[in-house]
Structure 1
């Protein structure tokens, strides 16, 4: 029977696993590390993961938005903290007042930071080839000059220069060499302008693990902090522990005859008589509909295939004639140590990446922590 019968469906986060992963990654990196806790800690809980990461020695935390940064400060975090995504008109003042390092990717953003009237800690982001956020290389000298001018009159201190890889999970991709070369060029431009940042950082999890030359003064560990592989097929065994388990209570068990169709559209039809289990979670809880008829769960010590389309609130699994009791534990994914599927298994079933699987899961699910 289900050891937690009150939970319809829940996310269980092992904070000891997070601490273990952060410590292990710091050992491997050999330079200071940033644990990235944006998007509610990749679905694991931003505040709780941030505390665990700090306890494990993470020198920096990273978030995307100003709101996330301010929320972390309100929850009691006091270490170095970087945020990097803002739209025109957003107020930098609260983050600056909370001692957050903010990012500028243009002269216009520097002007918005200056408009707060507060002395800020600013990091400059350069686009080295991801073609996303960051100053394009052709405008980089202008951004650097404006940053240096503001530094000279006390508007801010430039604490970092950084960029982000596009293809670090493909270690042989030529973009990696090109981006690292572009980043080194950008650092030279900044140095000639008189900027002396505390930290220079380029690598995310895959880059930090697979490309030692790109570690510079700081590396940003996102996915790997949660125990998931940032570059499947390439990452060495680092003894990382997946921190998230998603489980539910079996809502119903029923028998169906051969020829019975299952779920919307009858995309699966039983070729023999079988038994089905109803799992009370669906795409409204972040279960990917693209995993219909392809993913598996663990029930009664056996992997069971999803049958038919995932619905908003529920999905159906094939119990192959077995008749477990209502309330039986269903493990959707976890570390894989008990034979259950992993987040990577679900990613492959849904033709996506494990980042999306863990980040989107939740909806109406409760979240429970162990290893506090």
Structure 2
């Protein structure tokens, strides 16, 4: 068999149909439309391929963090509505309008910037008003929202499509913060009714809200990490059955017997107490596999779990297989399923002392991605 130069033995495999299936289950559970969040390279899964599959699946809306992500989607032929969730940079506003991107307006000053750009271009801007109910990140404070809402309603150049906030603690189903934020948000939204204005789409629920707080589902939900089949926090309850879409796969590239007492990898932090068999896997922290998994990570080989030993290197790491056998080119599963055994992102992130989000978005473009079914350009 001839292997081409671009067929690195380490690869990410993304099941796009699983993502579409997760979207269906989320919408069925909430009974609302969904804004699928595809920021940060679709949480490491691949921005454009994921967006194309979601568009095929009839997604209601997409959400990204930055203008550049929205522009990349438009250039790839994505036509569904796209909201840029991040704070806007004034000089870029014209580009939002030129690429038909919906804008987060988070202050009176930002509203004026958008109005000026829209008037100059002779077009109306589609905006979502951002209310801060407890994050202290971006958005008008909930207790100051009345004047903000009135100014937006009066604007000749802005069409208010939505109003939203972001939940700070919804990943934890026991947190009282979620109910408090919902109360603050609904009070801010009520000002539309007080002034006799049309109520825009109210959206508040992220993955944690979808899982744990039905009262936050409102008119639209914003699934992020759960869209990819990963729970947001160890405390999260799997109230919606979602399937992991990403597998991280590599191959054995070296096998050796390491004698008792001989140290392995940088820093000489680990040595076997008895003679053992060690294999090398060609992936490291240069690819985004966390160095914090040194001595803590596990992999699957032939359906059995084996420990990562010694320090994870930039481009490779070592695995102790004891007295078992493994041969060069044998498959190694870092995330995913093999012979009925499973290694989940959530468990690896916990072992590394990070959150699942950080694990996924850290997997960089040095690792080639394959898609099931294959993606047409």
Pair 237,168 (structure 1): closer, same or farther in 2 beyond 3 Å: closer
Corresponding residue number in structure 2 for 1:200: 202
Corresponding residue number in structure 2 for 1:131: 136
Contact 1:103 1:122 in 2 (8 A): yes
Corresponding residue number in structure 1 for 2:18: 17
**What SS does the corresponding residue of 2:343 show, helix, strand or coil?**
coil
**What SS does the corresponding residue of 2:347 show, helix, strand or coil?**
helix
Alpha-carbon distance in structure 1 between the residues aligned to 2:206 and 2:260: 50
**What SS does the corresponding residue of 1:122 show, helix, strand or coil?**
strand
Corresponding residue number in structure 2 for 1:43: 44
Alpha-carbon distance in structure 2 between the residues aligned to 1:239 and 1:121: 34
Pair 363,276 (structure 1): closer, same or farther in 2 beyond 3 Å: farther
How big is the shift at 1:141?
2.6
**What SS does the corresponding residue of 2:237 show, helix, strand or coil?**
coil
Corresponding residue number in structure 2 for 1:348: 350
How big is the shift at 1:264?
1.1
How big is the shift at 1:294?
0.6
Q: 1:189-228 maps to which residues of 2 (within 5 A)?
A: 189-228=191-230
Aligned to 2:303, which of 301, 304, 311? 301
**What SS does the corresponding residue of 2:85 show, helix, strand or coil?**
strand
Q: 1:314-353 maps to which residues of 2 (within 5 A)?
A: 314-334=316-336, 338-353=340-355
Alpha-carbon distance in structure 2 between the residues aligned to 1:242 and 1:330: 18
How big is the shift at 1:172?
1.7
Corresponding residue number in structure 2 for 1:276: 278
Alpha-carbon distance in structure 2 between the residues aligned to 1:286 and 1:113: 37
Task: Point out the more displaced range, 129-138 or 264-273.
Answer: 129-138
Pair 195,318 (structure 1): closer, same or farther in 2 beyond 3 Å: farther
Alpha-carbon distance in structure 1 between the residues aligned to 2:332 and 2:361: 20
**What SS does the corresponding residue of 2:90 show, helix, strand or coil?**
coil
How big is the shift at 1:337?
7.1
**What SS does the corresponding residue of 2:69 show, helix, strand or coil?**
helix
Alpha-carbon distance in structure 2 between the residues aligned to 1:272 and 1:346: 27
Corresponding residue number in structure 2 for 1:104: 105
Contact 2:11 2:250 in 1 (8 A): yes
Deviations 1:49-104 (A, max 9, x none): 11222222321111111111111111111112111213433412222232221101
How big is the shift at 1:198?
3.3
Q: Give the alignment's TM-score, normalised by structure 1.
A: 0.94
Alpha-carbon distance in structure 2 between the residues aligned to 1:212 and 1:336: 35
Answer yes or no: is 1:142 the counterpart of 2:147. yes
Deviations 1:328-351 (A, max 9, x none): 111101157731311111111111
| Segments of 4+ moved more than 4 angstroms | none
How big is the shift at 1:309?
1.1
Pair 90,272 (structure 1): closer, same or farther in 2 beyond 3 Å: farther
Contact 1:251 1:277 in 2 (8 A): yes
Contact 2:303 2:338 in 1 (8 A): no
> Aligned pairs, how many?
368
Corresponding residue number in structure 2 for 1:30: 31
Corresponding residue number in structure 2 for 1:262: 264
Contact 1:35 1:58 in 2 (8 A): yes
How big is the shift at 1:269?
1.8
Contact 1:81 1:100 in 2 (8 A): yes
Which segments of 5 or more consecutive residues in structure 1 lack a partner in the other structure? none
Corresponding residue number in structure 1 for 2:287: 285
Alpha-carbon distance in structure 1 between the residues aligned to 2:300 and 2:247: 12
How big is the shift at 1:115?
2.4
How big is the shift at 1:321?
2.3
**What SS does the corresponding residue of 2:350 show, helix, strand or coil?**
helix
Contact 1:203 1:220 in 2 (8 A): yes
Alpha-carbon distance in structure 2 between the residues aligned to 1:171 and 1:132: 22
Corresponding residue number in structure 1 for 2:93: 92
Pair 87,103 (structure 1): closer, same or farther in 2 beyond 3 Å: closer
Contact 1:168 1:206 in 2 (8 A): yes
Pair 90,249 (structure 1): closer, same or farther in 2 beyond 3 Å: farther
Pair 198,189 (structure 1): closer, same or farther in 2 beyond 3 Å: closer
Alpha-carbon distance in structure 1 between the residues aligned to 2:56 and 2:340: 28
Alpha-carbon distance in structure 2 between the residues aligned to 1:221 and 1:360: 20
